[in-house]
Amino acid sequence: MFYLIGLGLGDAKDITVKGLEIVRQCSRVYLEAYTSEEFYGTKLTLADRETVEQEADEILKDADITDVAFLVVGDPFGATTHSDLVLRAVKAGIPYRVIHNASIMNAVGCCGLQLYNFGETVSIVFWTDSWKPESFYDKIKRNRQNGMHTLCLLDIKIKEQSLENLMKGKKIYDPPRYMSVNQAAEQLLEIIQNRRNQDKELAITENTICVGLARVGAINQKIAAGTLQQMVNVEMGGPLHSMIITGSLHPLEIDMLKLFAVDKSSFENIRMEDSSTYVS
């Protein structure tokens, strides 16, 4: 059997009891990120995204006659590469089983916003001097028009190569980079100014209520709620960060967000001109 096992969001102990039992019975266990071999009680083979994409057949080798597990931080289907593993297993006649766990997609409810009020999730990527995509803004706009909140997954750069090293074929990687809530807010504010300069209708403004989240599921997780402008300066600490652009806010959601307010006065009079979908 080939197992895809979610590890949750906090630490090694967030694995489910069912998942841990399966890990300990497997002959090979792959892990897409570092965690505790000692806790899982078995040898782990580190397998980053590059390994998964290029050596999937090796991961699945003999999984039809022995148990093989692939451990995924969060939930197994948080990335398309894991769907590819399932398709390859099925094609090879290998039975598979998925052990689910918490992911950022459902854990964002910790801030008090209702999950059924979320629209399409978007990714915000690092800009460069010559590449500043704004397509995610249009998805946020569509969600806002429907009164829906938008979960923004912030860019992660791991095992990235410089153009020079790539051209020379050198396996030298740049240090990991993780986008912060502050950087995401700065990019959004620049887009807003660009649209304003073009006299375009704005989907969000500097005063739109947002939520910054850091290290969700960990004991030191942090949540901060305030305006987009406030998100530029809020101190969230180390990675991983996510951000939510709110849509229509139910009074109960507003009361919950006040628990994490950067400045409670931001919630006293939510300006109707900022979003016609807001509930006061």
Residue 156 to residue 154: CA distance in whole angstroms: 7
The response to whether 241 counts as a known ligand-binding position is yes
The response to whether 103 counts as a known ligand-binding position is yes
The response to whether 228 counts as a known ligand-binding position is no
The response to whether 78 counts as a known ligand-binding position is yes
Token duo for residue 133: 């995509």
The response to whether 64 counts as a known ligand-binding position is no
Contact status, residue 215 vs residue 238, Cβ threshold 8 Å: yes
The response to whether 109 counts as a known ligand-binding position is no
Token duo for residue 256: 């919950």
Residue 61 to residue 168: CA distance in whole angstroms: 32
Sign of CA dihedral 91, 96, 100, 104: negative
Q: Which residue has the tokens 């766990």?
A: 101
Token duo for residue 106: 């459902």
Residue 110 to residue 147: CA distance in whole angstroms: 20
| Residue stretches of the annotated binding site | 9, 75, 78, 103-104, 154, 216, 241
| Residue stretches of the annotated binding site for S-adenosyl-L-methionine | 9, 75, 78, 103-104, 154, 216, 241
